[in-house]
Every structure is written in C-alpha cells, then in structure tokens.
Homo-oligomer: A and B are copies of this chain.
C-alpha cells in the first residue's frame, strides 16, 4: 500500500492551506506539487477578459475571527479555514449579534459541521460555523475581524506537459481552489500529481497534459489561452473526489459516445468492483467548461461518490478521516487502467483465419481435453482469434467478450509471439 500512503501523505501536507480561486494559497499548493513534478506556474493578471468572464481581483487572507465581549474568539479562522466565507472582503468592526447574524452561515440539518461557502463575484463578508455553535451564541456585542485583501493581482494555475510519440494529447484536469477539504479536491490533486510523475518515466504514444486550475474561472482562463492546444486533445479526464469509500463513477462527456467514454466505461465495467456510469449533465466540475458547445471536448469525469451525493460534501466533515489510502490508490489504478487502453488499443489480423489454429502444438493449450472446464486465459486466446478480423480492435473484442482489456491484451501478446497475429493499425 505504499502508493496509497504516499498519496495520503501529500493530502496531509496540502490540507491546512487556505486555497481559493486566486491568491497565495494556490501558489503555496503548486509549490509543494513542484517538489514532485516539474510544474509550470502560469499567472494571469486580474482584469484580463477570458471569454464572458474577467479574471477577478486576487484574494489573500491572514486572519479572521469573531470575539465576544470577553475577548474570547467564538469563531476562529486559525482553527479552521472554512470558518471564513471564501473571498470575504476585510472588516474590523464591533456589532450586535443581530447585525452579525445575516453574515453567518450554518447547516441546520447537520448541526455539527461547518459549511464551505464562497462569494467570488459579489463583494461580501461572512463566517461559516456549526449550527450548534451558532445556536449557542449569546446576544450582545461582538468584535468582527477579517484581515483579508481583495485587490488587483493575478490568477494562478499549474501546467505540465509529458511529451509522447505523437502530439495528440490526453488532458488531465483537476481543480485546486478548495481550502481544507480533503476529498474535494485534494484527492484529485494528489492522484493527478502521482500520475504525472509515473508517466514522466515511461514511453507513451500520447502526449499528456496536466492542468491544476481553480474551478470554473481557472479552466476558462486556461481554455482562453490554449485554443490551439485544445485542437490536439483526443481524450480528457477531470479528476475529483477520488478518496472516499464510494464506488468509482465515470461521468460521460457531453457527446456521451466518444472513444474516451467507451474506454472508461469498459474499464469500469470489468473491474473486480465494477464502477457506475452516469450520463452527461451540465452541472458539476470543470467538464462543464471543457465540454461547452464551443469546445465539446472528449472529456469525461472520474470520481467516487459524486458531489452532492455524500453528506460530507462541502463541509468540515470532508476531512483527513474521510479519505483513505487504499481508496486513493484504487482510484489511481483505475486511471492507469484507462490510460493503458488509450495507449495499447490496436487492430490485429488473425494470420490463420480459416478454422482455429492448433494452439496445442504451440504450447497454448491444455493437453488432456476435458480435464478442466475453466481455462479462462485460453478463452481469451479464442476471443482474440475470433475477433481479429482487421476491423475490430482489442477494445472492441474486450467489450464484446466482457473481459478486462488487460487480459485480452496479454492474450494478443501471446498470439503475436506464436506468430498467429499481426498488427494492422
């Protein structure tokens, strides 16, 4: 489980940082990732027009609290960065509980949890707290302090290109704007980082492009700066929420029937614990931008429990106890299995197409017929021979056979070695 532990440890390091869609929290995060992979850090100035949007002022925060008359901090940013409405403007003022109340956010249905709230495009300030703590606040005067700045600066994202044999690209995108939330989306950040690191040491057919972007405005900014790159994208994945205990979920691209979808679906369907496929819908993460009709990229999303389907979503319960090393490792493995198909699928020709070849004389067959009924790897050989008609690819065969691509791939390799199979394209 060492890879799982490594993933988890990276999450532990990143967890305390107060990230947002701009600011030093993002830079600090990318700096830690740069210890693992050679990231390019790209800055786009506030005020830059990106399609229908404008890069906002940069937000930075140092401290925030609400203190009661005795000076006791009843809400404290230092205790948990979710306590501050993300993108709050600065304030330093004494006010009554009645004046303060419209700026307090809690979850009456989950009274122990701090909610995660943002106000990026409407200047506002506020605090988030557990509903039970809100209810415990007594009438009286409070000192309200948010020591933050919201002023011209820039939006920051990270990017890494791992070149392959061709300039056709596979995009891996993950959002980096959430503060202390472990599953959403430190899990995605950690998995993308380790995936990039492992790809960097391998030969690959495709060029891999990793982008670590603030949600929505970040992917829109990246798109606006990369219209030429976009034309080379053949497959893409948004990675998020990959550390929880739920089963894997693949959300289809907007078109729903592109090769990327078919590959991801096959891998999820043939895993020991099969995943779930959900159709495209226009709500979610940055796939919304990559799949907007002006781009319509072959980009799907991989997650475990989808957002909104787990009660810990966007609360302080999405913490370091919510994600597990083995779940992170399993998610990374699934992405690698998907990439294996992208890299390894090909079309072959059965060189002995009339009748079956005699596998026995080539050492590919049991000797006493009937001795056992469950020679599965033998069955994979038969599937590859039956399907390799210069039209179907190994993926087509694996889908038809309902067998893992990796097993079909191995069978094809054995048949190539035996001189029974030839690659067509």
A residues bordering B, Cβ < 8 Å? 50-53, 85, 105, 115-122, 124, 126, 216, 219-220, 223-224, 254, 281-283, 288-289, 291-296, 308, 314, 350, 352-358, 360-361, 367-371, 373, 379, 382-383, 385-389, 401
Residues of B near A371 (CB, < 8 A) are: 105, 117
> A354 near B121 (CB under 8 angstroms)?
no
Minimum distance in angstroms from A97 CB to a CB of chain B: 20
Complex CA distance for A288 and B386, rounded to whole angstroms: 8
**Residue from the list B50, B118, B283, B379 in contact with A369, Cβ < 8 A:** B118
Q: Which of A122, A124, A292 has the most CB of B within 10 A?
A: A292
Complex CA distance for A350 and B254, rounded to whole angstroms: 15
Minimum distance in angstroms from A123 CB to a CB of chain B: 10
Tell whether A314 pairs with B121 under 8 Å between CB atoms, given A355-B53, A356-B216, A389-B296.
Answer: no
Residues of B near A360 (CB, < 8 A) are: 121-122
Residues of B near A358 (CB, < 8 A) are: 52-53, 121
User: Can you tell how many copies of this chain the complex includes?
Assistant: 3
Cβ-closest chain B residue relative to A397 = B282
Residues of B near A369 (CB, < 8 A) are: 117-120
Residues of B near A51 (CB, < 8 A) are: 352, 354-355, 357
Residues of B near A293 (CB, < 8 A) are: 350, 353, 385-389
Q: Which of A105, A356, A357, A367 has the most CB of B within 10 A?
A: A356
> A220 near B355 (CB under 8 angstroms)?
yes
Complex CA distance for A383 and B385, rounded to whole angstroms: 44
> A281 near B401 (CB under 8 angstroms)?
yes
Minimum distance in angstroms from A404 CB to a CB of chain B: 16
Complex CA distance for A355 and B117, rounded to whole angstroms: 23
> A368 near B118 (CB under 8 angstroms)?
yes
Tell whether A292 pairs with B355 under 8 Å between CB atoms, given A281-B401, A283-B379.
Answer: yes
Complex CA distance for A218 and B387, rounded to whole angstroms: 23
Complex CA distance for A354 and B116, rounded to whole angstroms: 28
> A295 near B223 (CB under 8 angstroms)?
no
Q: What 4 additional pairs, Cβ within 8 angstroms, besides A120-B369, A293-B389, A294-B350?
A: A117-B370, A216-B356, A293-B385, A294-B352
Residues of B near A224 (CB, < 8 A) are: 354-355
> A117 near B368 (CB under 8 angstroms)?
yes
> B282 near A383 (CB under 8 angstroms)?
yes
Minimum distance in angstroms from A344 CB to a CB of chain B: 21
Minimum distance in angstroms from A252 CB to a CB of chain B: 12
Residues of B near A388 (CB, < 8 A) are: 293
Tell whether A122 pairs with B294 under 8 Å between CB atoms, given A52-B352, A282-B385, A355-B220.
Answer: no
Minimum distance in angstroms from A272 CB to a CB of chain B: 21
- Can you list 23 A-B contacts (CB < 8 A)? A51-B355, A52-B352, A53-B355, A85-B368, A105-B371, A115-B370, A118-B368, A121-B358, A121-B360, A124-B368, A220-B355, A220-B356, A224-B354, A254-B386, A282-B379, A288-B356, A288-B386, A292-B353, A292-B355, A292-B386, A293-B389, A294-B350, A294-B355
> A355 near B289 (CB under 8 angstroms)?
yes
Q: Please provide the 5 A-B residue pairs with the shortest distance between their CB atoms, ordered closest to farther.
A: A294-B353, A294-B354, A282-B382, A282-B386, A293-B389
Minimum distance in angstroms from A417 CB to a CB of chain B: 16
Complex CA distance for A85 and B368, rounded to whole angstroms: 9
Complex CA distance for A371 and B122, rounded to whole angstroms: 14
> B373 near A308 (CB under 8 angstroms)?
yes
Complex CA distance for A293 and B361, rounded to whole angstroms: 21
Minimum distance in angstroms from A312 CB to a CB of chain B: 14
> B356 near A289 (CB under 8 angstroms)?
yes
Complex CA distance for A53 and B355, rounded to whole angstroms: 9
Tell whether A355 pairs with B223 under 8 Å between CB atoms, given A118-B370, A282-B386, A293-B388.
Answer: yes
